[in-house]
Amino acid sequence: MRISTRTFLEQPVTDMTRLQATLGVTQQEIASGVRQSASEPATASRLGALDRSVARLAQYERNAAFVGDRLRSTETAIADAGDVLQRIHELAVQAGSGTLDGASRKLIAAEVRSLRDHLLGVANRIDPNGGYLFGGSRSEQAPFVEHWGNVQYQGDEALRAVEVLPGRAIADGVDGGSFAEIQAEGETRDVFAAIDGFASALESVADGSLSEQDFSASIADTLTISNAGIDHYVLLRARIGGRLATLDSCLSTRANIHADLLAQASQLRDLDMAEAISRLQAQLTGLQAAQLSYTKLARLSLFDYF
């Protein structure tokens, strides 16, 4: 077959250019550590979806941290409330022992009053983000407000569900109203009213306006309430503890999903370095051979023998 000198000289140049382009791809793969195939539409789309899933997990992580912070603050508050009731119980036992004079009863009354103020502070505690723990959806205002000496609840029972895993939402607190509501002997009693009643009874018996008999009844009542209150807060705490445990298990589920997503992405994206380097070597050898043969062939000309 006849071949023109120009084709004869240009064809190897075209071939070498192609070899160089292939080499360039391999070189880029090695430099970036990313497979060339990662930029193919289907793979790129899959990688995009995987990256988005990873980003979504990060948002779930932030949500979980937020819920965790809030639940831990709630748990501490409930524990503190339990301590207050424990102390009220001790004081009720002490006050009921019958050997105390008026001054001692007044002293106990003062402590009860300060415990009640402390409990009000606990009930109006805020989470690390500034929202009231027991206000329900009225998170911007103190839920327990003192009005003419009585504590009134101004929040609502709305609970906030927050997603911490796809399809898995956890309530980030307790029903605020239930904080102060204690079930004792079949009726719902307000903890603040009960404590106020105990303090008033102490003060009244000390200044003689309450009979010892009525005082004893009040002590018995306080003991009942404080016992029920201790149980109430233990129960609330257990509920929060359960949620925190769920949160922890979601954490490990998230970690598993995360690892799985990263492994899948890596399989699509990451280059097998050993394979790429041996491929580069083979391509280099090919190019060198092409260059060598070209310099030999290009020199051939019949005119050299004229």
Partner 1 sequence: MSGMLSTGLNGLRAFQLAIDVTSQNVVNANTDGYVRQRAELATRPAVPSAGAWLASGVQVARIAREVDVYRVAQSRDAATQAQNAATRMQEIGRVVAALGRGQDGLPGALQRVRDALEALTAAPATRSVRVELLAKLDDAATEIRAVDARWRDFDREWGQRMTTLVGELNADARAIADLNRQIAIGAAAAGTPSPTLLDQRDQLLDRLAGYADLRVVEDAEGKVNVFAGRGRALVVGDVATAVKAEDFAADSGGTLGALASSRAPLLSGARDELGALAAALAERLNTTHAEGVDGAGRSGTPLFSTPVATVTPRSGNTGSATVVATLDDTDALTIKNYRLQRVADAWVLSRLDDGTPVPMSGSGSVIDPLRAEGLAIAVSGVAANGDGFEIYPTRELACDFTATVTDPTRVAAAASGLGPGDNGNARRLLLAFDSVAPSDAGTTLIDRLDHLQLRLSRTQQIAARDAEVTQVARADIDRQRSNVSGVNLDEEAARLLQLQQAYQAAAQVVRMSDELFRTLLDATH
Q: Which residues make up the interface to partner 1 (CB under 8 A)? A: 1-8, 11, 14, 40-42, 44-45, 47-49, 51-52, 55-56, 58-60, 62-63, 66-67, 129-132, 135-140, 155-156, 158, 160-163, 172, 301-303, 306
Q: How far is the CB of 56 from partner 1 (least distance, A)?
A: 7
Task: Tell me the CA distances in angstroms from 129 to 66, 70, 73, 139, 175, one per residue in order.
Answer: 9, 8, 11, 11, 18
DSSP at 177: G
Residue number, 134 or 198, with CB nearest to partner 1: 134
Residues contacting residue 290 through CB under 8 Å, at least 6 positions apart: 12, 15, 16, 19
Residue closer to partner 1 by CB (options 219, 265) is: 265
Least distance from C-beta 300 to partner 1, angstroms? 8
Q: Are 158 and 136 within 8 A, CB to CB? A: yes
CA-based nearest residue to 54, from 258, 274, 298: 258
- Tell the smallest beta-carbon distance from residue 226 to partner 1 (Å): 31
Residue closer to partner 1 (CB basis): 20 or 104: 20
- Nearest to partner 1 of 40, 272 (CB atom): 40
Q: Which is nearer to partner 1, 53 or 86 (CB)?
A: 53
Within 8 A by CB and 6+ apart from 23, the residues are: 280, 283, 284, 287
Question: What's the min distance (Å) between Cβ of 6 and partner 1?
Answer: 5
Q: How far is CA 200 from CA 18, 185, 196, 242, in A?
A: 97, 22, 6, 38
CB proximity list for 273: less than 8 A, separation 6 or greater: 30, 33
Q: Which residues, listed in sequence order, are joined to residue 169 by a DSSP beta bridge?
A: 163
Residues 6+ apart with CB under 8 A from 92: 198, 219, 222, 223, 226
State in angstroms the smallest separation of the CB of 125 from partner 1: 14
Taking the C-alpha atoms of residue 164 and residue 70, their distance in angstroms, rounded to an integer, is 14
Q: Assess contact for 82 and 235: CB atoms under 8 A.
A: no
For partner 1, which is the closer residue by CB, 57 or 107?
57
Residue 149 to residue 106: CA distance in whole angstroms: 19
Q: How far is the CB of 47 from partner 1 (least distance, A)?
A: 7
Q: Least separation, in Å, of the C-beta of 64 and partner 1?
A: 9
For residue 219, give Cα distances in angstroms to 74, 76, 82, 226.
Answer: 30, 28, 19, 10
CB-nearer residue toward partner 1: 158 or 263: 158
To the nearest whole angstrom, how small is the minimum distance from the Cβ of residue 291 to partner 1? 20
Nearer to partner 1, 148 or 303 (CB): 303
